[in-house]
Structure 1
Amino acid sequence: MPSEATSAPASPPPPPPNFWGDMPEEEYYTSQGLRNTKSYFETPNGKLFTQSFLPLDGEIKGTVYMSHGYGSDSSWMFQKICISFSTWGYAVFAADLLGHGRSDGIRCYMGDMEKVAATSLAFFKHVRFSDPYKNLPAFLFGESMGGLVTLLMYFQSEPDTWTGLIFTAPLFVIPEDMKPSKPHLFAYGLLFGLADTWAAMPDNKIVGKAIKDPVKLKIIASNPQRYTGKPRVGTMRELLRKTEYVQENFGRVTIPVFTAHGTADGVSCPTSSKLLYERASSTDKTLKIYEGMYHSLIQGEPDENVEIVLKDMREWIDERVKRYGSKTA
């Protein structure tokens, strides 16, 4: 009898082009009540990939300038935060940090975080002082390592540039089990900077420690722009140095600040938010600690937890807009 032909195993279907599935981008954004634009912004340090999220209807209450965390980008699921604020009536602007996503730079190399901050700040100030937005309240928003970059941007800004600061799980204090080995950093330092860009530091599997919802973990892990290599020597050295620096300078924060953290955060110590709250000189400051929540409060928690966090943020920013109103830049 003739043998039956054996068919090759079917290859898995390609992943959808966006975290929400196959719906075309413009159609999806319209369904959310907003318009999205993408562009590149030239700086002395290289090009930044930037995005805007603008409400389709209603008066714009203010502007929000968002920075993502380590290894991430302003697209994929980070934009869920951008979309939320836009649906509340805010014009939202985001940029891939230098060395991340579609921006220029060595992937996830953060050897000079002051430069990284200055590069994003150049774009944010360009928008903040433009005619459509210069008289509106303006807020800086930072998630995780983006919170550290955001605080550095604030320190680099002229007084009265920003109305307030918003942080979610900011990386101001590195957990002990995440800290880079000082002997390793010293040994690499003996190579006179040659090892600074090496992806040679231990990988602590950050994504698994950040996301509680298993379905969302799979989606986030499939981000085509996500950095999956080991941490670079210079990045870990700089994170250690700059977290210590901001801890010593929390008192320089004088504007309204909102900071949020989960008690089960395995990436950034809840002490980060607590210390900022305790030491900031601001007379208007808010600390939210969420019992049992992980690092990624908006992208990675079950929906019911996400709604709690977003409700608190919306109430806070809407109240600050009413309280401080528009200003002349």
Structure 2
Amino acid sequence: MNPPQNNLPQPPPFFWGDTPEDEYYKSQGVRNSKSYFQTPNGKIFTQSWLPLDENQPVKATVFMTHGYTNDTSWVFQKICISYAQWGYAVFAADLLGHGRSDGLHGYIGDMDKAASTSLSYFSSVRQSEQYRHLAAFLFGESMGGLITMLMYFQSDPDMWSGLILSAPLFVIPEPMIPSKLHLTMYGLLFGLADTWAVMPPPRMAPPPGWDMKKPNLKAMNPNRYAGKPRVGTMREVVRGTEYVRKNFEKVKVPFLVAHGTADPMACQSGSEMLYEKADTPKEDKELKLYDGMGHSLIAGEPNEASDLVLADMKAWIDHKVEKYGPKCN
């Protein structure tokens, strides 16, 4: 969730401005494709970003999941484009109830279902003839980190080569914990209130060091959900975070988790807990804490700060692919 923004200017056609998509992607050295993928739970909107040169060998595949209220069309692309520039094939999908995917906007009434829906697309690409021989990584940001962990738990043990998590939501900060009174009260309506957008939104000041132009740009996303949190979504966030914390010891693959120490939206203690409890060999798990940085490590910080995070991510995945490559699978 983003801090409230008022009197925002008219958004540009794209987060980067007025430059046509094909021209912009070409200037970044990547190519983009868009499509819809049919799942048992509805159609989801998907995108891919690959190196511009079709003859350039792809290092590995990365499957990315955005956070709550977000989608793949706006500033989340900065992460996707960066990985494609580094030589990776990147695939992402709008979560159910988000962006251009099916579902009531802002509503995730079943977190496991949302995870399995995106996973059905990711699995189809990961197991395709073109990519099955490559190492494959799951990437999740914020609530997308929570859903990424659920995808990992739903997958075959050897399906993924590693996890990359940016400010994952594993522990909810005290001011953001949904009211038990509200959840109980609406729960007594036998599901009738599950989709209602009536949960009190958290009101917090942005942490020190935020580049305020970037949160404003994030809030201008025309596909962003800007309403109050829906009852079922908040219930599932509470249930999902409790579930993954109880199952951290089942994580056995290499992972990198990045977290800002001034994050008001997801407690760094959740990332620390994952690092401590995961059964991944110590040399294959890494926790990077960024002093004074907030929740949106790539899209919400000054360029020099976000560039540092991206450099750390590049170093980690390049090392894992060089060390293990397809042998991870």
TM-score (norm 2): 0.94
Tell me: CA distance 1:209–1:68, structure 2 relative to 1, closer, same or farther (3 Å).
Answer: farther
Larger Rg: 1
Partners of 1:134 and 1:13 in 2: how far apart?
45
Matches within 5 A, 1:182-221: 182-205=180-203, 208=206, 212-221=210-219
> SS where residue 81 of structure 1 aligns?
helix
Per-residue Cα deviation, 1:27-61 (whole angstroms, up to 9, x for no partner)? 00000001000000000100000000010132100
| Matching residue's letter, 1:155 | F
2:3 is aligned to: none
> SS where residue 70 of structure 2 aligns?
coil
Partner residue of 2:105 out of 95, 104, 107: 107
> SS where residue 287 of structure 1 aligns?
strand
Q: Is 1:62 aligned to 2:42, yes or no?
A: no
| Matching residue's letter, 2:99 | G
1:306 is aligned to: 306
Per-residue Cα deviation, 1:242-295 (whole angstroms, up to 9, x for no partner)? 101100000000000100100000000011110100110000100000000000
| Matching residue's letter, 2:38 | E
On the 8 A contact 2:42/2:102 being kept in 1, the answer is yes
How far has the Cα of 1:137 moved from its partner? 0.5
Runs of 5+ in structure 1 lacking a partner? 1-11
Tell me: CA distance 1:252–1:96, structure 2 relative to 1, closer, same or farther (3 Å).
Answer: same
Partners of 1:139 and 1:328 in 2: how far apart?
10
On the 8 A contact 1:134/1:328 being kept in 2, the answer is no
| Matching residue's letter, 1:230 | K
On the 8 A contact 1:206/1:267 being kept in 2, the answer is no
TM-score (norm 1): 0.94
Tell me: CA distance 1:210–1:243, structure 2 relative to 1, closer, same or farther (3 Å).
Answer: farther
Tell me: CA distance 1:304–1:13, structure 2 relative to 1, closer, same or farther (3 Å).
Answer: closer
Q: Is 1:19 aligned to 2:15, yes or no?
A: yes
Q: Is 1:71 aligned to 2:57, yes or no?
A: no
Partner residue of 1:31 out of 11, 15, 27: 27
Partners of 2:328 and 2:245 in 1: how far apart?
31
Matches within 5 A, 1:214-293: 214-283=212-281, 284-293=284-293
> SS where residue 75 of structure 2 aligns?
helix
Partners of 2:143 and 2:264 in 1: how far apart?
13
| Matching residue's letter, 1:50 | T
Partners of 1:23 and 1:135 in 2: how far apart?
36
How far has the Cα of 1:142 moved from its partner? 0.1
Partners of 1:187 and 1:258 in 2: how far apart?
39
Partners of 2:326 and 2:172 in 1: how far apart?
37
On the 8 A contact 2:135/2:328 being kept in 1, the answer is no
Partners of 1:327 and 1:273 in 2: how far apart?
27
Matches within 5 A, 1:16-165: 16-57=12-53, 58-165=56-163
| Matching residue's letter, 1:115 | K
1:322 is aligned to: 322
On the 8 A contact 2:208/2:293 being kept in 1, the answer is no
Partners of 2:151 and 2:206 in 1: how far apart?
29
Runs of 5+ in structure 2 lacking a partner? 1-7
Of 14-23 and 241-250, the range deviating more from structure 2: 14-23
| Matching residue's letter, 1:17 | P
How far has the Cα of 1:110 moved from its partner? 1.1
| Matching residue's letter, 2:42 | G
Per-residue Cα deviation, 1:288-312 (whole angstroms, up to 9, x for no partner)? 0000000000011000001110111
| Matching residue's letter, 1:219 | L
Across the two proteins, how many residue pairs are aligned to each other? 318
On the 8 A contact 1:211/1:295 being kept in 2, the answer is no
Partners of 1:198 and 1:328 in 2: how far apart?
44
Tell me: CA distance 1:106–1:207, structure 2 relative to 1, closer, same or farther (3 Å).
Answer: farther
| Matching residue's letter, 1:19 | F
Per-residue Cα deviation, 1:163-215 (whole angstroms, up to 9, x for no partner)? 00000000000001100111111111111111111001011157956991111
Partners of 1:326 and 1:111 in 2: how far apart?
36
> SS where residue 275 of structure 2 aligns?
helix
1:5 is aligned to: none
How far has the Cα of 1:217 moved from its partner? 1.4
2:166 is aligned to: 168
2:175 is aligned to: 177
Q: Once superposed, what is the RMSD of the aligned Cα atoms?
A: 1.6
